[in-house]
Chains A and B, each alone.
Chain A
Amino acid sequence: MVFTDLKGWMPVDAVVVDGRPGLAWLEIDGVDFVEPFFQQTVDRFRANHPELEERFTEFHTLVQLEKTFDSVAPTGFIFHSSRCGSTMLANACRAITGAVVVSEPPAVDKLIARLITDVDDHGTKEKLYSVFVRAVVKALGQRGSGNERHLFIKFACCSMSQLERIQRIWPNVPWVFLYRDPVETMVSNVENLPAWLLDEDRRVLASITDTSIDAIAEMTVAELCARAIGSFYATANRVANDRSLLLNYNQLSAAEISNVMQFFGVTPAASEMETIARESQKYSKSPSDAPTFVADADRKQQAASELVREMAARWANEPYQLLEKKRLGIQ
Chain B
Amino acid sequence: MIMTASNLTTGAHVVVTDFDGGEGILVDLNTKRYYQLNETAMIVWKGLEQGKSISEIVADFTSSYEVEPDRATLSVQRLLDSFQTYKLVSAG
Contact = CB atoms under 8 A, between A and B. Distances in A.
Interface stretch (B16-24, B52-60, B69-77): B16-24
A299 to B, nearest CB: 47
A60 B36 contact: no
Interface in B8-52: 15, 17, 19-20, 23, 25, 27, 29, 32, 34, 36
Contact of A124 (B17, B20, B32, B36): B36
Interface residues of A, number: 15
Given A58-B32, A124-B36, A63 B27 contact: yes
A168 B23 CA distance: 12
Contacts of A130: 19-20
18 contacts: A60-B15, A60-B32, A63-B17, A64-B27, A67-B15, A123-B36, A124-B34, A127-B19, A127-B20, A127-B25, A127-B36, A128-B34, A130-B19, A130-B20, A131-B19, A131-B25, A134-B19, A168-B20
A58 B25 CA distance: 16
Interface of A: 58, 60, 63-64, 66-67, 123-124, 127-128, 130-131, 134-135, 168
B27 to A, nearest CB: 5
A168 B19 CA distance: 9
Interface of B: 15, 17, 19-20, 23, 25, 27, 29, 32, 34, 36
Contacts of A63: 15, 17, 25, 27
Contacts of B15: 60, 63-64, 67
Contacts of B34: 60, 124, 128
B27 A66 contact: no
Nearest to A20: B32
A159 B36 CA distance: 24
A124 B37 CA distance: 9
Interface centre among A63, A67, A130, A168 (most CB of B within 10 A): A63
A124 B92 CA distance: 30
A130 B17 CA distance: 11
B17 A131 contact: yes
B15 to A, nearest CB: 5
A68 to B, nearest CB: 11
B54 to A, nearest CB: 27
Nearest to B31: A60
B25 A128 contact: yes
Nearest to B28: A60
B20 A60 contact: no
Nearest to A65: B15
